[in-house]
Amino acid sequence: MYTGTLFILSAPSGAGKSSLINAYLKQQDQQLANISISHTTRSPRPGEKHGEHYYFVDHNEFELLIKQDAFIEYAKVFDHYYGTTKAAINQHLANGINVFLDIDWQGARQVRDKMPNAKSIFIIPPSLAELEKRLIKREQDSAEVIAKRMQKAKSEISHYNEYDYLIINDDFNYALNCLSAIIKAETLNTSKQILINKDILEQFIDQNKG
């Protein structure tokens, strides 16, 4: 049966990961690609909606989900819990839809252990100075939070070599092309093509027999 591919995307905040995923998904049919919506204990930022950006839950609810073994992975990031439920991904994958996980390196490790066919992509900014510039420009965080994010960015980036693919997001369109190319290459993998183009391939096998 043809199943979708699970793509893990990680990056320090400000590297442009969400913009890249959103731009990619905009070009795609929802029947072919979808993003997993995580649960988090952090508060919504202005404009963020429950069920769209995250499922915003309190500590008790999150811990109940842990007890129920609902998560494929979860981790503490910036003092808050974040997790991906099995429900958020399994049905889509079973329906042949590619699923994107926007998660940190701790979650990526857990998913790789449980789903070895998942492909992981790390996105880094061209420099630390550029990252800081982007964090200041987006006017989302105080100077104190930006300093914390910059500190965290260095430790997050130190895990880049655990990933299958690396994209340096200097030019946005180039980075988007790189992301599309990785996803396209996975779809062209022979093991996938055998299932996608079964009829065409079977026709050749029949001809050879004849």
Please state, in angstroms and rounded to a whole number, the distance separating the CA atoms of residues 104 and 74: 9
The least distance separating ligand 5GP from the CB of residue 13, rounded to whole angstroms, comes to 5
Per-residue binder mask for ligand 5GP (CB under 6 A), 42-71, x = binder: x-----------------------------
Please state, in angstroms and rounded to a whole number, the distance separating the CA atoms of residues 135 and 152: 13
> Count residues contacting ligand 5GP (CB under 6 A)?
15
Across the strands, what pairs with 50? 54
Please state, in angstroms and rounded to a whole number, the distance separating the CA atoms of residues 35 and 6: 10
Q: Of 23 and 201, which has the nearer Cβ to ligand 5GP?
A: 23
The least distance separating ligand 5GP from the CB of residue 160, rounded to whole angstroms, comes to 14
Asked whether the beta carbons of 6 and 118 are under 8 A apart, the reply is yes
Q: Of 115 and 196, which has the nearer Cβ to ligand 5GP?
A: 115
Q: Of 113 and 202, which has the nearer Cβ to ligand 5GP?
A: 113
* Strand 119-124 relative to strand 98-102, pairing: unpaired
Please select the residue that binds ligand 5GP; options are 38, 41, 120, 169, rule is CB under 6 A. 38
Residue 186 contacts ligand 5GP per CB under 6 A = no
* Strand 119-124 relative to strand 165-168, pairing: parallel
Question: Which residues lie closer than 8 Å to 45 by C-beta, 6 or more apart?
Answer: 140
Footprint on this chain of ligand 5GP (rule: CB under 6 A): 13, 38, 42, 73, 75, 77-78, 82-84, 102-104, 106-107
